[in-house]
């Protein structure tokens, strides 16, 4: 057996002898190594090494303050390997130390030092800092879930280019929800794992669909958020297209769903083309989108979130795809009559008070199909002259939230709005969403019930009764518990609907007895294009190179911004380091831009 010997001296290097003995044992266990010893170069130690036949003439030169690595191995390669390993250990930085009781890191860089194996940054810092933090995260090789808004469109385009170059996925900006490997990011519901993969430009849209699926007993493989503007013409569906390809290659995904509020026509066409050739069934729910291809074998269109979920459920079960949205309106008609009878003749209008932007959007779009004069802050028709009959408010919009917590977290805003409606004699129906899940108010049903209780009293004092219909979006596994939340609402006289679409139809039925909610039937189809065919000018985007690894190992997260996101990840057993992020240079914009220049 060939024997090669080598001694390496690390001058002026001191380690405790216990550590060196442990290192010697570890080195001896490497393959091809016969003997290894790491010691300080004292006379006694050198004598021991000499007697063991490990000390070479170079090793003899070691001084008492030098560290001596002596190796006997079967090949020069093995010797090199062991020397490299020893050097690596001497140079090692601390890894994966439990962060309990430690000072929270203040920046992304130092958070990464705490968790070198992190693969995802969850960023919810104020918008004007979000772009920089996202760029840093992408440069460090982290996928990004970017919750923050107020990142401008050009910055979004640049960041998404950077993400592509780095082989990473950027979810956001304005990304409210994602579920990766069953882990809820941002505002997400606790849903089971399963065969449906989703990509959504809408947070509450994604929540609504995953909850309906969950109530059908169908789980989610991955649910990527991409941010509200991803399907803007300038962005071109960049992240959605990349995520779509990832789901196409994902073994756990059988059916793919793409969800967005009305995309730009070019973008929706490109996505349809992409979807038509991924080789898996795809359901496209582009709410309010006019330009659509006619269905192909594997391509399905849905007009509403609920319809989309039911199509996906049918595809998973290999059942015929439902063309008419399933609803229980017929079953409920007798009770509708009884409720309606309580209304005064002047009570004619529906008022939607939504916390979820996409749910509000869906309500506005559906109501307008059958009702005249529906105004909303969503399209700035609220203050138009002429006076609207019906109103749909997105209470999460900037005009309501600027400087205040989102009403999903703080129910005060909707409370005041409901009380206001109680004083209006024309209001018949208050239409609400109640969204459960991580990040949400801990007991939204109690908050809504309390507001409704007060409102009923106010109205009753004026001789009226109002109707409140709530679409509950959640699962029994959510922290708030679906059944418990529903019970509280029901006990307070709030009528429940299992989806937003059903709540909207119920509301219509309350005020339109003659039409029997005719306007709520299947959405009229517009002009159909031929099914999309592959076109040579439409390059299929690449799967972000590092995304499969994230899905294989699960997220390990660095959280910058809202601590509640870190807390929910911790509760789900996900490794997370929360950074105590603060504005750079204490918010001094001159110094911050100087720092930016010197990065």
Partner 1 sequence: MSSGTKSSIDAANQQALERIFASRPFLVDVRPAHELLPQLGDHSVLHAGPPLGSKTMCGPLYGAILGALQYEGWAADEAAAQSLIEADKITLLPCHSVRAVGPMTGIITPSMPLMVVENREYGNHAYATLNEGLGKVLRFGANDESVLQRLQWLQQVVAPALQAALQRTDGLDLRVIMAKALLMGDEMHQRNVAATSLLIRALMPHLVRAAPASEYLGEITDYLTGNDQFFLNVAMAAAKATMDAATGIPGCTLVTAMARNGTDFGVRIGALGERWFTAPVQMPKGLYFPGFSAQDANPDIGDSAIVEALGLGAFAMAASPTVANFVGAGGLAQARRYTEEMMEITVGRSPHLLLPTLEGMGVPTGIDVRRVVETGIVPWINTGIAHRRAGVGQIGAGVVQAPLDCFVQALEAFADDWDR
Residues that bind partner 1 in the complex, under the rule CB under 8 A: 11-14, 16, 19, 65, 90-91, 93-94, 97, 101-103, 105-107, 109-110, 113, 582, 584-586, 591-592, 594-599
Q: How far is the CB of 569 from partner 1 (least distance, A)?
A: 22
Give CA–CA dist 532/269, Å, rounded: 8
Q: How far is the CB of 79 from partner 1 (least distance, A)?
A: 22
Measured from the CB atom, the residue of 162 and 450 that comes closer to partner 1 is 162
Q: Which DSSP state fits 519?
A: G
For the chain, the residue count is: 599
513-518: long-range contacts, CB 8 A cutoff, minimum separation 24: 513/337, 513/340, 515/370, 516/333, 517/329, 517/370, 518/370
Q: How far is the CB of 99 from partner 1 (least distance, A)?
A: 10
Q: How far is the CB of 14 from partner 1 (least distance, A)?
A: 4
For Cα atoms 255, 357, 371, give the angle at the middle one, nearest 5 degrees.
100
Q: How far is the CB of 101 from partner 1 (least distance, A)?
A: 6
Q: How far is the CB of 38 from partner 1 (least distance, A)?
A: 15
Query: What are the DSSP calls for 573-590, one per residue?
Result: T--EEEE----GGGG-HH
Question: Are the CB atoms for 29 and 82 separated by under 8 Å?
Answer: no
Find, among 193, 336, 202, the residue nearest to 261 by Cα. 202
Q: How far is the CB of 140 from partner 1 (least distance, A)?
A: 12
Find, among 579, 574, 542, the residue nearest to 168 by Cα. 542
Q: How far is the CB of 584 from partner 1 (least distance, A)?
A: 5
Q: How far is the CB of 97 from partner 1 (least distance, A)?
A: 6
Q: How far is the CB of 73 from partner 1 (least distance, A)?
A: 25
The DSSP bridge pattern shows strands 220-225 and 374-376 to be unpaired
Measured from the CB atom, the residue of 42 and 381 that comes closer to partner 1 is 42
Q: Which two tokens stand for residue 398?
A: 């900037």
Measured from the CB atom, the residue of 341 and 598 that comes closer to partner 1 is 598
Question: Are the CB atoms for 569 and 559 separated by under 8 Å?
Answer: yes
Q: How far is the CB of 110 from partner 1 (least distance, A)?
A: 5
Q: How far is the CB of 136 from partner 1 (least distance, A)?
A: 10
Measured from the CB atom, the residue of 113 and 477 that comes closer to partner 1 is 113
Question: Are the CB atoms for 580 and 106 separated by under 8 Å?
Answer: yes
Measured from the CB atom, the residue of 4 and 90 that comes closer to partner 1 is 90
Q: How far is CA 205 from CA 278, 304, 492, in A?
A: 23, 10, 27
Measured from the CB atom, the residue of 110 and 294 that comes closer to partner 1 is 110
The DSSP bridge pattern shows strands 177-180 and 183-186 to be antiparallel
SS3 call for 176: coil
Measured from the CB atom, the residue of 23 and 78 that comes closer to partner 1 is 23
Which ranges in 127-264 belong to alpha helices (H)? 127-139, 153-166, 203-215, 238-249
Measured from the CB atom, the residue of 567 and 585 that comes closer to partner 1 is 585
Q: At what angle do helices 17-28 and 76-91 cross, to 10 degrees?
A: 140
Measured from the CB atom, the residue of 545 and 594 that comes closer to partner 1 is 594
Residue 15 CA, chain-centre distance (Å), reads 46
Measured from the CB atom, the residue of 159 and 302 that comes closer to partner 1 is 159
Find, among 543, 430, 419, the residue nearest to 489 by Cα. 430
Measured from the CB atom, the residue of 331 and 599 that comes closer to partner 1 is 599
Q: Which two tokens stand for residue 226?
A: 């991409």
Give CA–CA dist 240/22, Å, rounded: 50
Count CA atoms closer than 13 A to 47's CA, side-chain side. 3
Measured from the CB atom, the residue of 77 and 102 that comes closer to partner 1 is 102
Count CA atoms closer than 13 A to 154's CA, side-chain side. 0
């Amino acid at each position: 057996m060939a024997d090669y010997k080598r001694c390496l001296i690390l001058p002026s290097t001191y380690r405790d002898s216990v550590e060196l003995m442990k290192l010697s044992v570890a080195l001896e266990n490497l393959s091809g190594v016969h003997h290894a010893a790491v010691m300080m170069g004292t006379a006694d130690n050198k004598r021991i090494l000499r007697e063991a036949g490990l000390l070479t003439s170079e090793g003899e030169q070691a001084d008492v303050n030098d560290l001596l690595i002596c190796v006997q191995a079967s090949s020069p390669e093995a010797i090199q390997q062991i020397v490299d390993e020893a050097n690596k250990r001497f140079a090692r930085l601390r890894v994966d130390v439990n962060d309990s009781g430690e000072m929270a890191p203040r920046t992304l860089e130092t958070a990464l030092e705490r968790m070198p194996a992190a693969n995802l940054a969850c960023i919810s810092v104020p918008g004007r800092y979000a772009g920089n933090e996202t760029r840093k995260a992408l440069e460090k090789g982290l996928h990004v879930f970017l919750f923050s808004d107020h990142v401008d469109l050009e910055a979004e385009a640049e960041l998404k280019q950077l993400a592509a170059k780095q082989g990473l996925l950027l979810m956001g900006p304005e990304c409210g929800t994602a579920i990766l490997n069953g882990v809820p990011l941002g505002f997400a519901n606790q849903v089971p794992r399963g065969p449906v993969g989703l990509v959504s430009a809408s947070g509450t849209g994604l929540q609504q669909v995953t909850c309906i699926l969950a109530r059908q007993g169908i789980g989610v493989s991955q649910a990527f958020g991409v941010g509200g503007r991803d399907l803007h013409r300038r962005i071109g569906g960049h992240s959605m297209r990349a995520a779509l390809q990832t789901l196409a290659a994902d073994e756990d995904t059988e059916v793919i769903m793409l969800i967005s509020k009305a995309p730009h026509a070019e973008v929706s066409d490109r996505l349809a083309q992409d979807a038509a050739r991924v080789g898996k069934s795809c359901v496209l729910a582009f709410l309010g989108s006019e330009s659509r291809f006619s269905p192909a074998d594997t391509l399905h269109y849905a007009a509403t979130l609920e319809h989309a979920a039911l199509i996906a459920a049918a595809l998973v079960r290999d059942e015929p795809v439902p063309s008419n949205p399933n609803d229980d309106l017929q079953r409920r008609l007798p009770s509708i009559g009884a409720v309606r009878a309580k209304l005064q003749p002047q009570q004619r209008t529906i008022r939607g008070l939504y916390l979820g932007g996409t749910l509000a959007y869906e309500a506005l779009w559906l109501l307008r199909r059958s009702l005249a004069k529906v105004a909303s802050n969503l399209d700035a028709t609220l203050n138009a002259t002429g006076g609207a009959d019906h109103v749909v408010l997105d209470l999460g919009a900037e005009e309501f939230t600027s400087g205040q917590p989102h009403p999903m977290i703080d129910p005060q805003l909707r409370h005041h709005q409901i009380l206001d409606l109680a004083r209006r004699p024309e209001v018949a129906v208050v239409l609400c969403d109640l969204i459960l899940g991580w990040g949400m108010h801990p007991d939204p049903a109690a908050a809504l019930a309390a507001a409704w209780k007060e409102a009923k009293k106010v109205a009753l004092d004026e001789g009226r009764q109002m109707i409140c219909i709530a679409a509950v979006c959640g699962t029994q596994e959510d922290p708030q518990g679906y059944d418990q939340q529903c019970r509280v609402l029901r006990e307070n006289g709030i009528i429940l609907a299992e989806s937003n679409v059903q709540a909207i139809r119920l509301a219509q039925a309350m005020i339109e007895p003659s039409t029997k909610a005719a306007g709520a039937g299947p959405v009229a189809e517009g002009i159909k294009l031929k099914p999309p065919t592959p076109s040579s000018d439409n390059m299929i985007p690449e799967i972000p190179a590092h995304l499969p690894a994230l899905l294989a190992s699960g997220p390990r997260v660095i959280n910058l911004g809202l601590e509640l996101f870190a807390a929910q990840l911790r509760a789900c057993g996900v490794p997370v380091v929360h950074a105590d992020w603060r504005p750079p240079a204490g918010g001094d914009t001159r110094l911050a831009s100087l720092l930016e220049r010197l990065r």
